[in-house]
Chain A
């Protein structure tokens, strides 16, 4: 009975949210407020039970029990610095919150610089010109296409140059966004826009797919999970 009750309530909330498509109404407002409230409440509880208890409380109690003073001190200092965040509530002592912020930002950015540069710039730069140890501007592949014209040889011949040219024209477009009559800058604008339109189009297509997936999931829940439950109960 509990399953049917909660599933029916879930269907009611789903339909309440969808009712916004007709117009704003009290059912939508109820579902929206309930979602916001439950989300915050859930996060508070989960933070306490899954982060504070296992990461702070239990290790602290263990280290006190075993007489591990160094570990206890380490945890207490950590918690104390973390609690300084709360000083933002006071106008007089809000400056204290700068200590935890500076530690988090300092460690985070300091640690992120090298791997970020490597992963997002150097490796990407490398793969823009080289793939599987071969240059992407490979004249051999173009010759191979002319020797044996086929769809796959055409793809192999054009894929690399199109990528390299695309990166260059888009970079030129952004670096020289001011009015400029230099022919290189002037004649690369349209191809750069085309490349970007393809990129935005792909992103939009994917976004559309994502949104429809959410709708499909809710409809699947109503039609293939909730409705059979009701049918079984009624029959």
Chain B
């Protein structure tokens, strides 16, 4: 057997054919709409548990509720990982009737943030200004974070739509850390660390993070020191949270979510909802997209798994080729 030729062959794969292989392998699970079940890690489950804790507190104290503050700190360019996290978290909060306050930590998230909030709020019939609010860009960031300790309305005098924050009903009760049960930074930047540094360290606010995989390794030390309640790291973390929320949704809404959404606004008076925020009805395309968004991260994880195996096999092939070539050269 000509080992040298075999070694040469193993090292001769062209870059283009490797990319083509990746393209085909990643596409197959997406075409087949395969969504994998994933195991739940402690760091993701603790965010879920904390949200449930806020829900239980609100049930016991209806006159002194707590809200969840969501900081949208990512540009649309990294939405592949962060958007499923944001969707799952918002679905969890709205499903549990927890008030949601949000802002954009980075300027590029300003419009995307409100689009996501309105879109998920529509699934549960939540009303802007009563059940959720979006304060626009938190700029300058440090001053914005500090203002949450006293009264954020002084800093954010208007919301995203330009309405005076003193006139918005939800802001009357929820305007400082006192009524925020959990602050979640969904981030592709280092802003999560700043929330740890200021909100957690200075004001003892419970902080959780949903970060892109690139940033995940950097935040693990904060989990160990309990400075972070929990963390969703990359698409895997998003898939875990998505799985937990889907399970809850089946319990709260039932198995046929699509039909539930289809019928939701038929029983309601459309004049109750302002069209500025969302149209109180679902088209068939929207329903398909809503159902797809419920398994977005898990579908992505199927392709991830295939891509990872592919790369591992390529690494093994290249190493075998390298050692054969070195031995017989």
Contacts and interface: CB of A to CB of B under 8 A. Distances in A.
Tell me whether chain A's interface is mostly helix, strand or loop, or mixed: helix
Nearest to A201: B217
A203 B23 CA distance: 24
A203 B107 CA distance: 27
A131 B81 CA distance: 31
Contact of A54 (B31, B136, B311): B136
A111 interface: yes
A228 interface: yes
A229 B292 CA distance: 14
Contact of B234 (A39, A111, A126, A209): A209
Contact of B27 (A22, A223, A228): A223
Interface in A196-227: 199, 202-203, 206-210, 212-220, 223-225
A150 interface: no
B225 A58 contact: no
A118 interface: yes
Interface stretch (B55-63, B198-206, B245-253, B261-269): B198-206
A51 interface: yes
Give the interface size bracket for A toward B. 35 or more
Tell me whether chain B's interface is mostly helix, strand or loop, or mixed: helix
B314 interface: no
A213 B234 contact: yes
Contacts of A131: 224
Nearest to A132: B226
A135 interface: no
Contacts of A43: 107-108
Contacts of A219: 23, 26-27, 30, 303
Contacts of A46: 107-108, 110-111, 137
B311 to A, nearest CB: 7
A229 B285 CA distance: 8
Interface in B296-322: 296, 299-300, 303-304, 307-308, 311
Contacts of B214: 206-207, 210
Contact of A224 (B19, B33, B142, B308): B33
B225 A21 contact: no
B137 A216 contact: no
Given A216-B26, A216-B304, A217-B300, A115 B201 contact: yes
Contacts of B299: 220
Interface string A142-159: 000000000000000000
A106 interface: no
B258 to A, nearest CB: 15
A8 interface: no
A124 interface: yes
Nearest to B214: A210
Contacts of B142: 108, 111-112
A127 interface: yes
Nearest to B81: A213
B225 A116 contact: no
A220 B198 contact: no
A50 interface: yes
A112 B137 contact: no
11 contacts: A21-B15, A22-B16, A55-B157, A108-B142, A119-B200, A119-B227, A123-B201, A126-B225, A206-B214, A206-B216, A210-B81
Interface of A: 21-22, 39, 42-43, 46-47, 50-51, 53-55, 58-59, 108, 111-112, 115-116, 118-120, 123-124, 126-127, 131, 199, 202-203, 206-210, 212-220, 223-225, 228-229, 232
Given A127-B224, A216-B307, 18 more contacts: A42-B108, A46-B107, A46-B108, A54-B136, A58-B157, A108-B142, A127-B225, A206-B213, A206-B217, A210-B212, A210-B214, A214-B78, A217-B300, A220-B300, A223-B27, A223-B30, A225-B289, A232-B285
